[in-house]
């Protein structure tokens, strides 16, 4: 069985996700982190607060490698 190229696997997953979804996930995780902080759940706030850069990087990486949207 031939193993799939990691880049092909990434695009197979992300091509089905609209680009705006990554940005909405980043915003939602910022809000969730703030909510955890207000609820005095500092460990969860820090954990979830580290997600936004990852979501934004997924979107930017995808845009850089597939600028035409094809």
- Among 50, 69, 49, CA closest to 59: 69
Distance CA 59, CA 22 (A): 6
Angle (CA) 32 56 10, round 5°: 115
pLDDT per position as a tens digit, 21-62: 989 999 999 999 999 999 999 999 999 999 999 999 988 887
Sketch the domain layout of the chain as residue ranges. 18-65
Q: What is the pTM of this model?
A: 0.74
Q: What is the pLDDT of residue 44?
A: 97
Alpha helix stretches (DSSP H) within the chain: 6-14, 19-38, 42-49, 51-65
């Amino acid at each position: 069985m031939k193993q799939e190229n990691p880049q092909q696997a990434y695009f197979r997953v992300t091509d089905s996700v609209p680009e705006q979804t990554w940005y909405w996930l980043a915003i939602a995780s910022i809000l969730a982190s703030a909510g955890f902080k207000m609820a005095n759940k500092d460990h969860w706030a820090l954990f979830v607060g580290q997600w936004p850069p990852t979501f934004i990087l997924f979107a930017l990486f995808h845009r850089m490698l597939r600028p035409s949207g094809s």
